């Protein structure tokens, strides 16, 4: 039977799509719900390629089994894939879609979770050999904290050796060993690296990252986690050359209490290392502002509070890094949204 004429008039390529079930209607009856899921799968199944896909919230388990395969098909995304929240029954439902796109240029990984993870150990073991296809991946941001993301997705990225197209890596470190392995796979091509220090032992060897230009460190957990300053110093000490370093701090980072002797020595070591680092142009302290505050930044009391905080950060940075201050390297900028969204401020990153 010939296909209906209308099928041939709809392009097979789509520029972009956003999938968001977070506001789904709860009072639909079963028939309406089934029709909606089948409609979504039919629409997505029509296209051979989609340039950009953003999944804000999707529970794939809710889709009838026969149509799930048409929703998230491997290789369909050709440029950008961002996943904020994705729920599936098992890894094989989504891993081929996420890691099976050879033309993908940007991948953003948020929270991916699987139901009944404890009951699927056998399946997971059988699935570990599934190859990934991300040979063209240039930019990777891992901002999720879920078990599924860090047990089923991030470790699989290390299986591709090397990630020789990866120029930008942004990662909120949940597993330092896995992150170290990821850096190792991409060290020869990395231009920009952002690391969110969350626990002690966040020390990374960047000696072989010879092309690295931008390094961003999220230090909002300092001084609560005191070892992070030591981790920062050791990580920076492994770098042979750098153009810009970004240190993200929160309100508690700029503490008014007197540093202990160990911290004073660490700040001196960091100042000395940065001031002697070949090619260093800027030491930028960043402050992340909530999106709602950012919109009201120009008005009244909010502006005054944020400007006062900015002044405190500048004073703090100049006191801790006097050699960098004398060279005119220090600046403070405010960014809106989240650290993983703008770890390098408004710096134009290498393509």
Cis peptide before 27 (omega within 30 of 0): no
* Token duo for residue 110: 């948020």
Angle (nearest 5°) at CA 325 between 321 and 330:
90
Taking only the tens place, the pLDDT of each residue in 265-278 is: 999 999 999 999 99
Q: Cα-atom radius of gyration of the chain, to the nearest Å?
A: 23
Q: Is 25 exposed, middle or buried (0-12, 13-18, 19+ CB in 10 A)?
A: exposed
Alpha helices per DSSP H over 132-175: 147-148, 154-157
Cα 193 to its chain centre, rounded Å, is 10
| Residue 180: partners with Cβ closer than 8 Å, 6 or more residues away | 204, 205
- Report pLDDT for 299: 60
Ramachandran angles phi, psi of 110, nearest 5°: -100, -130
Domain ranges for the chain: 1-190, 198-351
Largest CA distance in the chain: 81
Strands 214-218 and 192-196: parallel
The structure tokens 């309100």 sit at 251
Q: Whose CA is closest to 141, among 116, 173, 109?
A: 109
| Model confidence pLDDT, tens digit, residues 97-150 | 999 888 999 999 999 999 865 444 444 444 554 667 888 999 999 999 999 999
Name the residue among 23, 347, 8, 30 with its Cα closest to residue 194: 347
What pLDDT digit, counting tens, does each position of 48-83 carry?
Answer: 999 999 999 999 988 888 778 788 999 999 999 999
Give CATH for domain 1-190: 3.80.10
pTM, whole model, 2 decimals?
A: 0.89
Helix intervals (H) in 261-299: 261-276, 291-295
Residue-wise pLDDT for 295-310, tens only, equals: 555 566 777 888 888 9
- Give percent above pLDDT 70 in the chain: 87
Question: Which tokens hold the place of 185?
Answer: 């796979």
Beta strands in 134-281 (DSSP E): 139-142, 168-172, 192-196, 214-218, 244-248
Q: Is the peptide bond before 32 cis (omega within 30 degrees of 0)?
A: no
User: End-to-end CA distance of the chain, in Å?
Assistant: 47
* Average pLDDT for the chain: 85
């Amino acid at each position: 039977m010939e296909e209906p004429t209308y099928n041939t008039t709809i392009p097979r390529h789509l520029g972009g799509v956003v999938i968001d079930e977070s506001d789904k209607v709860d009072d639909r009856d079963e028939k309406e719900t089934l029709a909606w899921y089948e409609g979504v799968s039919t629409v997505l199944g029509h296209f051979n390629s989609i340039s950009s896909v953003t999944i804000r919230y999707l529970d794939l388990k809710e889709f009838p089994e026969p149509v799930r395969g048409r929703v998230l098909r491997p290789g369909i995304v050709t440029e950008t894939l961002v996943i904020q929240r994705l729920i599936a029954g098992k890894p094989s439902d989504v891993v081929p879609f996420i890691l099976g796109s050879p033309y993908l240029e940007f991948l953003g990984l948020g929270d991916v979770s699987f139901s009944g993870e404890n009951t699927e150990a056998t399946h997971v073991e059988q699935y570990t050999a599934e190859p990934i296809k991300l040979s063209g991946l240039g930019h990777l941001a891992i901002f999720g904290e879920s078990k599924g993301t860090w047990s089923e997705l991030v470790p699989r990225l290390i299986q591709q050796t090397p990630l020789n197209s990866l120029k930008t890596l942004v990662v909120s470190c949940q597993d330092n060993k896995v992150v170290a392995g990821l850096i190792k796979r991409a060290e020869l091509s990395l231009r920009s690296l952002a690391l969110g220090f969350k626990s002690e032992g966040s020390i990374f060897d960047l000696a072989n990252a010879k092309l690295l230009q931008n390094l961003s460190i999220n230090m909002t957990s300092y001084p609560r986690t005191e070892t992070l300053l030591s981790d920062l110093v050791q990580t920076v000490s492994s770098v042979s050359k750098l153009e810009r370093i970004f240190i993200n701090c929160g309100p508690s980072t700029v503490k008014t209490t007197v540093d202990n002797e160990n911290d004073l020595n660490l700040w001196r070591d960091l100042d000395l290392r940065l001031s002697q680092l070949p090619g260093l142009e800027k030491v930028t302290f960043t402050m992340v502002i909530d999106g709602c505050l950012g919109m009201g930044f120009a008005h009244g009391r909010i502006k005054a509070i944020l400007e006062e905080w900015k002044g405190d950060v500048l004073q703090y940075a100049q006191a801790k890094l006097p050699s960098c201050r004398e060279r005119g390297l220090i600046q403070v900028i405010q960014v809106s949204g989240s650290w993983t969204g703008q770890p390098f401020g408004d710096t134009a990153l290498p393509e």
